[in-house]
Amino acid sequence: MFRASFSRWLVSFKPLPVAIGWPERLRSCLGALIGIAFTGGLMFVWLGNDSALPLLVAPMGASAVLLFAVPASPLAQPWSIIGGNIVSAIVGVACAKAMPNPMDAAPLAITLAIAGMFAFRCLHPPSGAVALTAVVGGPGIHSLGYGFVIAPIAAQSFALLALAIVFHAATGHRYPHAPLKPKDAKRSAAESAAHGLQSFTRADLQAVLSRRKEILDIDLGDLESLLAEVQLQSYVRTFSGLSCGDIMSKPAISVPPTASVRAAARLLRRHDIKALPVVDDEASVVGIITRADVDNSIRRGITRRLSAWADRWLSGRQQETQTVSRIMTVHVSTIADTTPIARLVPIFAAHGHHHIPVLDSKARLAGMITQADLILGLYQQTELQNGTA
């Protein structure tokens, strides 16, 4: 009995599988490389090689792991790194001054740093090392006093964070991580519940998490969205015979690139739709224009357009009409009409798309699929199956 329990306990130490692919892993490594190099280089330019201040402190390495490897973690957000490091630095310096013996000051510094981070809602694991560094960093660190909070801690934290924001933006990654908005989560839950896709609410999640008595390293909105997506994926899997061509809206309303923006706006209003594919003479999709694109174009730059009109009137030139080709999105996600609908779930959920043009075997526009089309198709198929059961 003991040996079996001990063996199961040892097996629990095995590493968990990593859920991201190699391109994302390499991107994280590259980000950490650039981030630490930038932070150290900036400190060198600012302080010079002869400075008594460390150009890099060890906690920045741990912060880089969070910022670049798990940027969606609540522990890796801007306020966590800045607030956590500054609070812990202040606590560490205060404990080092109050208690000359590092072995007495170190445990108290870590304890108070954690309490301070909880109080200011800026929990950041590497900040524990910041508090410890302030206590056991040696005479050079101790001589800085509360200056240790400004440089190196605050300076290096801001530098690393600034680089992380730029790097994630340049590589198409979302940071700072914006969780699902509560109103969007409630609307998604209501829509899904209406079709039997979701049986839990955010209040249910909060109740369960409060009973666990531990912190899960995931935002509540992300968790809710993830569980809803898993339920939808499981539901969709039962209808593997359905293809995108079976549930798409057809014929798709579209416009040519030469159509005016105002003509596109009239089409969107008339058919009460949110997006229009832009197609060429051969019905190939060359772009997409949304209601938001049209509204922004009409509202933007009234003064600039009046000035341009006045300039054309004075010069005798004809007034130019703005076409959809100027404001359309040219990189369009499309899907074939023969694609199983299970492929739509990650496109809608993970990539933030709300409408996908559907192409036929000759790569011509055949229809459009929205999230509503997907849910309606699944609902109708369920009713059909229940009626024949």
Q: What is the 3-state secondary structure (H, E, C) of 84-144?
A: HHHHHHHHHHHHHHHCCCHHHHHHHHHHHHHHHHHHCCCCCCHHHHHHHHHHHCCHHHHCC
With residue 191 as reference, give the H or E element that holds it.
helix 182-194
Instruction: Look up the pTM and report it.
Output: 0.61
- Would you say 9 and 42 are in contact if contact means Cβ atoms under 8 Å apart? no
- Would you say 267 and 276 are in contact if contact means Cβ atoms under 8 Å apart? yes
Per-residue pLDDT of the chain (389 residues; tens, 9 = 90+): 677 777 777 877 778 677 678 889 999 999 999 999 999 999 999 888 777 788 999 999 999 999 999 998 999 999 999 999 999 999 999 999 999 899 999 999 999 999 999 999 999 999 999 999 999 999 989 999 999 999 899 999 999 999 999 999 999 888 998 765 544 445 454 445 444 444 667 777 777 777 776 667 777 777 777 777 777 667 666 666 688 888 898 888 999 999 998 899 999 999 888 899 999 999 999 999 998 888 887 776 455 556 655 555 555 555 556 888 888 988 888 999 998 877 777 777 655 667 899 999 999 999 999 888 887 777 777 766 666 55
Radius of gyration of the chain (CA): 28
- Domains of the chain as residue ranges with CATH: 19-170 (no CATH), 182-237 (no CATH), 244-388 (3.10.580.10)
Q: At what angle do helices 59-69 and 155-170 cross, to 10 degrees?
A: 20
- Would you say 377 and 242 are in contact if contact means Cβ atoms under 8 Å apart? yes
- Would you say 77 and 176 are in contact if contact means Cβ atoms under 8 Å apart? yes
Q: Interior CA angle at 259 toward 254 and 263, to 5°?
A: 80
Measured from the Cβ of residue 65, the count of other Cβ atoms closer than 10 Å reads 14
- Would you say 278 and 269 are in contact if contact means Cβ atoms under 8 Å apart? no
